[in-house]
Structure 1
Amino acid sequence: MHRADPRAGVFEYGVTIGAGHRREGDAAEAVVMLLRYMFDERRFHKCEARVFAHNEASLAFQGRLGFVEEGRLGDHVFHGGRHHHLVPLGMLGREFAPGHRE
């Protein structure tokens, strides 16, 4: 978790998985645990994430978790010697999939 504003009820998270450990379910398990805690225990209202627009795997991952795109920010981040579009995503606590709350 990068930032949490208890007054507004909004928090942001990000996840990085090493290349040799991707597609094993660890990231999804960790994120679902965090979302359960923040939505169910801490009663936060919204979770936000930001993903480079070219990172299709991460965008798909966020979508499987229930996040929705909230726009696109053109050339918003300078990284690796060039500018990149950034995709802000969000999920409200009430949208957090009931199947993840077990």
Structure 2
Amino acid sequence: MRWTGAKVRLRGVEPEDWQAFMRFDSHVSDMRDADMVHPPRSTAGYRAWAEAESLREAGDEFRLAIESVAGGELVGSLATSAVDTRAGRFSYGIGIGREHQRRGYAGEAVVLLLAYMFGERRFHKCEVAIHAFNGASIALHDKLGFRSEGRLRDHEFFSGRHHDVVLMGLTAAEFTTRHPFPPLRPA
């Protein structure tokens, strides 16, 4: 299992990451693209959150920091959620800091995550819910092989009105067609 690609390395959140997460949260539109707008948090709150994340036991629901290989800088994070071990499916969310977007970090981080969840944890399907106005995320997931599975109309409320959510999914078989698992021992 690789946690490092050509552009990014996935690693656990460290207590000293609090400043980068605070910087990422300073852009309301980025918060909304990744999830939703949260109230401002104090410096102490960010420190405590990063400390707690660094100590959290990782089961099938976890958060990873996304670090650039070139500079070793924290560029974002991703987190698994909605894990259903009986059905073999999970979801995830990803956020890349504004100053690091459009560099291929998100796509590579998602591929590394999917290789782990499909190849090591035996999940069958990954599902994502994307705000319909987030064309960049929809295009990314399209490029990664996710298929559109539906649209939830007027599903989320923020910025004074309701917004649609696009549902997309990818099975392990679809993933491995594009990204075969490497041999156990390289030749």
Q: Same fold (TM over 0.5)?
A: yes
2:179 aligns to what? 100
Counterpart of 1:78, as a letter, is F
Residues of 2 paired with 1:65 and 1:35: CA distance? 10
Give the alignment partner of residue 92 of structure 2, picking from 13, 35, 40: 13
Determine whether 1:50 maps to 2:129. yes
Distance in 1 (CA, whole Å) between partners of 2:178 and 2:127 is 20
Shift of 1:43: 1.0
Percent sequence identity is 53
The gaps in structure 2 that reach 5 residues or longer are 1-79, 183-187
For 1:9 and 1:97, locate their aligned partners in 2 and report how far apart those are by CA, in whole Å.
Answer: 16
Matched, 1:63 2:142: yes
Partner Cα distance (2:176, 2:97) in 1: 27
Distance 2:86 2:176 in 1: 24
- 1:79 is displaced (CA, Å) by 1.6
From 83, 96, 110, the counterpart of 1:31? 110
Matched positions, count: 102
Aligned-partner Cα distance in 2 for 1:89–1:16 = 17
Give the 3-state SS of the residue equivalent to 1:61 in structure 2. helix
Instruction: Give the whole-Å Cα distance in 1 for the aligned partners of 2:89 and 2:116.
Output: 13
Larger Rg: 2
Contact 1:52 1:86 in 2 (8 A): yes
Point out which structure has higher relative CO (alpha carbons under 8 A, 6+ apart). 1
Mapped partners of 1:25, 1:89: distance in 2: 20
What is the aligned-residue RMSD (CA, Å)? 1.2
